[in-house]
Every structure is written in structure tokens, then in C-alpha cells.
Structure 1
Amino acid sequence: MPVNLDALLRYHTINYCLQQRGKKWTWEELANACAEYADEVAYRTTRNIPSKRTIQNDIKVMRSNDLGYNAPIKNENGRYYYEDIHYSIKNTTINHADLSAIATAAKVLGQYKGFNFFDDLNNIFSKFESRLQIKIINDFDASIQFEKDEEVKGTQYLKLLLNAIQDKTVLKIDYKKFNDSYCKPHVVHPYLLKEYDGRWYLLGWHQEGQYIVTLALDRMENIEMITEVEYCSQSFNAEQYFFNTLGVTFNGEAPQQIILKVEKEYAPYLLTKPMHRSQILIKNEDDGCIFEYNLVINQELENWILAHCNHISIIQPLQLKQAIFSKIQKAANNFS
């Protein structure tokens, strides 16, 4: 039975409570204990108390053999306790498949240096199970590797920004554009962290400008929390916001029908890894394939076309074709 980290936290918290001999616990007391421990482990400042149904389902899982616990949990007048005073789920064994799944998740999350997920997971496991073999997780380092630049500036802010999003905390961000000689403060209501092309970006509501702003983490100089300003959500939906956008730049313009012709030899790369979700193969010709997209024209789209321009030609729109042609001419002059 697959189990997420939040549920695992609750099982071990409930186990810790029920091991307190001489006390029997109501579901409310167990729920509060779970919320308190989850906040401590995840460094959250807001309390998320599990519902009665969640606690009752957790107890049902712990009583069952789904995770191999078979916990002897009894209920007496609405209060829970262990019938066997020596029982603990720490005496059960986590199998190799479970550890492999945890190891994979830890490795995927651990590639992002600013989050420190891997260290957090190890700390959590050490509190859970003295018999948990972290070596299995460490062994995954030799079998999977991600292309990740550990020196990208700004990743030190990742965890702080993620916590601000989850806690709905307004931020004052000192931001310096590449061509500016000074920092400019921005008061932002953070909504989303997004990675694109090896860089991280924060999207949020710009309080002064009253619009959704995109700020690159590598251009942030300082971040302060502003607790006296009420957070404004603006019903932001990341899926809808980026639905017709490649990358992170959305300029508010309507998407356009973009038709590209791709060389026959290069077409399989787009078929196996589409440039965008809107990609449609509309025609297969002898000398190439015709693809259609519905996209906002932005810098990321132009950069993608330029990176593959020796394999691609633009059929429409004309404005995009002219913009790319102008940049290719400039590039040619640079090498003439």
C-alpha cells in the first residue's frame, strides 16, 4: 500500500501517543498531537489539524496489515490505547520496496539544494525508526544522477519562499535587474515557485503595480517578511495562467496559432518530447513534419526556435518569422 509522508508522520505520532502508558487518547487529542509534530518537522507556522475522519482512517490502516503494522489499538468510550503495552510500530519492518520508493523521492527532491529536502527526510527517519536503513537511500546516489547546477544564485531562498507561499505571508523583495546599478524593493504576495531552464522564478501579486509579477531568484538581493500587510490571493491558478505559455514570461497577450515545419530527421525529437502541450502534428510530408501550436509569443518561445533554427522553419505567423529572421541576421553579422 503506497503511503505519503504526511500519513507516515501521523502514524508515528499516533504510535508515540499510544505508547504513553496510563493514558487513553480521544481522536481530538491525537489530531492535535499530529498537527503539532507535523509543524515541528516541516517548520510550518500555521496549524493544519487532521479531521476526525482522517484520524479514524489512520487508526484503521494501523490496525490492518496494509503496512504490516497490525497494531492492537482498542477503543474504550471514545478513547484509544494499545492493548499490548509493549507494542510499537517501530518493531515492524519497512520492506526494501518501501525504502526504494522513499530513496527515489529523496533523490528527486534532494537535487534542489535550497530546499534541503534530503537532510529533512534523513532527520525525520532518524526520529521514526532506529532500524531504518538509510544506507539504501544513500546507495541510490550511484544509480541515478540529475543534471543540476548547484551554484545557481538564488537557490538559498527556495525554502523561505516556499514557506511564505504556504503560510500566505507578504514579502518585501529587494530586486536588481541585470542592467540596473541599484536594487528596487517590491512588495509581493507570493503564489508560485517555478523552475525553467535551470533557473527559479517567483510569481506573485505586485502590491504597487496591481499585476502578477515574475521575479528571478538569482536577481534577489534580500527578502523580508511583512506581517502587518494582509495577504491577497487573487484566485491565482498556475495551470490556467501558463496554459498557453512556454517558459515563465506571460505578457498578457492572446495566444496565436503557430505553425512550424520540422526536418524529417529532427521530427522524432518533438514527437517524443513535445515543445508544448498544445503541440499537434497536422501533416507528415516527405521532407518534414508540420506542427501546430497555440502559444503566446514571448522571449522563451523565440529562444527555443533560435536554438533549433537549423532544423525548423516558421510557416506562420509572419511577425514571429520576421522577428526570428532579424535575430539570425544579427547573429550572422556577429560571426562575419
Structure 2
Amino acid sequence: MKMTKWLSLLLLCVSLSPGLSLKCNFCTGLPYNCQESTQLCTLNHTSCMSQSFTVVEAGNVTEWTYKGCTQGLVCNETIYINLGYKRTYISSQCCTTDYCNTGTYYARVPVASLSCAACEGNNVSCASNQTPLPCAGVQDRCMTINTLYVNDSSSDVVYKGCGTGNLCGRRLEYNSGGVRVYTEVSCCGSNYCNQGIKSVTVDETPNGVKCYGCNETGAGECNTLKTVSCTGNMTTCLDIVAFPRGNTLMRACCSKDVCSGLSASVLLQASQKLHCCQGNMCNNGDITSYFKSGSTTAHRSMFLIGGALLVLLKGLRTLL
């Protein structure tokens, strides 16, 4: 009897050993920028879960994600609550191996007969040449992507169509020293609500941050360090690096949204890395120090055109 009790106690201790526990990614935050850490699950937690919330109220969309350990009671389901003035969608998915709940996860939002205005051009052409576009799948928002390019002269690019909330509200801005690019992604939730023309907001007030800037075309532009004075929302320095060669393709001031989640993935090819940092001249080309502390790495393939954020716009077209 004593031996049986001793054996049972030993088995219990082994089962409680941290080395045998399930490990999950843990975070709470925006779906596209949820900073993951490790959570060690307890015995009753048998799964890793990703759960996301989408709330649509008065045309405004709020999204939130939770990742962590779970008992598996609310796995792989979507709940839809419609209060008339507010719609709430909650989706979850579960898996049972260490760190399997990785990646961006959004609530599954069904769409019922939403139609949006569609065009590709600029503010002038899109004002008079919009076509109706029925949305499909989980496309629950009408989207407008406005970009303003500022150099010696200014030009704008506009895309309109259907989309999801993954990119809504992003401000994607950068200044490489030769050109300043300002992109705004706006969304709304009713039929043809994106027909209007909207100018991009530009803030060129110096913010005190200085970064190195260049745009490599093959002529060695990024071999010379050039200082750029950052303005407005551009409070971050970036360096886009080709791998495995390690040469810089572009340095610039940028807004924080350029460095986050889906924005960064669309911006880059799989053979490139994006290093973002805070502090004057921190994008100095010291590759070893960049990627010891971490960086944003592309998780999907995309084409790069001239190192500019026109890439981002071309990529966004595939998401509309």
C-alpha cells in the first residue's frame, strides 16, 4: 500500500513538472500588433487558443485579440451578437502543440449584401469614374487607400473597394530623404459609403527625431550616410535589408504603423528584413546589432518597386 501511494505521488509530481506542460503564445492587444510572450499552461489547460473580437458601432470598428492557454471549452467557434446599434463578433481557434497559436488572427465577420464604390487612379479620376463592387466572403467594410507623394511636386494615388478591418485606420508614412510618402487607410460599413474624395492629412512639423535616409537604385545611394529630419508622425527610424547579402535597400524616417504586423509583411519580400528602432540615427547599418535584439521579418512574399511604399499600395489591392 505504501509503495502504491509513493508511486502515485511520483506520477503526480512528474505530471506537474514544468518541462512536460503545454506552452502557448500569450498576448492581448491589436490583432496585427499583439506582442507575444510564453505562457506555461496548467494541467487543466489542454489547448492553445487565439480569440479575436470585432465590434462595429456607429461606423467605427474596434478589434482586439487574446492568445493563451485554455481548457478547450470555447474552441473553434464564432459568436455573433447584433444589438441593432452595435454588432459584436467573437471567433476562436485552438490547437494542441507548443506555441501553435502563432500568427495574426481576426474575428470571422460574415457579410450580407454590402456593396462599395471601386476605382483606381487619383482624386480627380476617382471623383468621376467609380464602379459598384459587391463585397464577398468576410469583406465587411468599404475601404479607401489614399497616398500622397511629395517631392519637388506632389502626386496622389487612390484605391477604393471592399476590404476587412485588418488595415483600417493605418497611417503609413516615410521620408527617405528624396521623397516623402503619406498613406491613409480609411473604412466605413454601409453601402457605397466610400464614394467621397478625401485628402491625405500631412504634418510636416519637425518632431526632433533624426534618421539616416536613402533609397537604393543600384547606384550605391545607401553607401553614403545622409541625415533626414523627421516630421509629424514619423517618430521611428527604419532600415530595409536584403538577405543573405545584408545590403541596405532603403533607410528612412517612418510612422510606427509601417513596422507593425500586416503592414510590414506586405512591404517586404521574403528575402528581406525590416529593422525599426527608436532614437536618433539608430538605423546606421549595423546589421549584427539589428537582429540580435529582434526585428520585423516578412512572413509572405511581395514585390518591391523602387523601395517605395507604392509596394504597399500594390499589395493592398490584393486584399480588397
TM-score w.r.t. length of structure 2: 0.21
Q: Which of these two proteins has the greater Rg computed from alpha carbons?
A: 1
Structure that is richer in strand per residue:
2
TM-score w.r.t. length of structure 1: 0.21
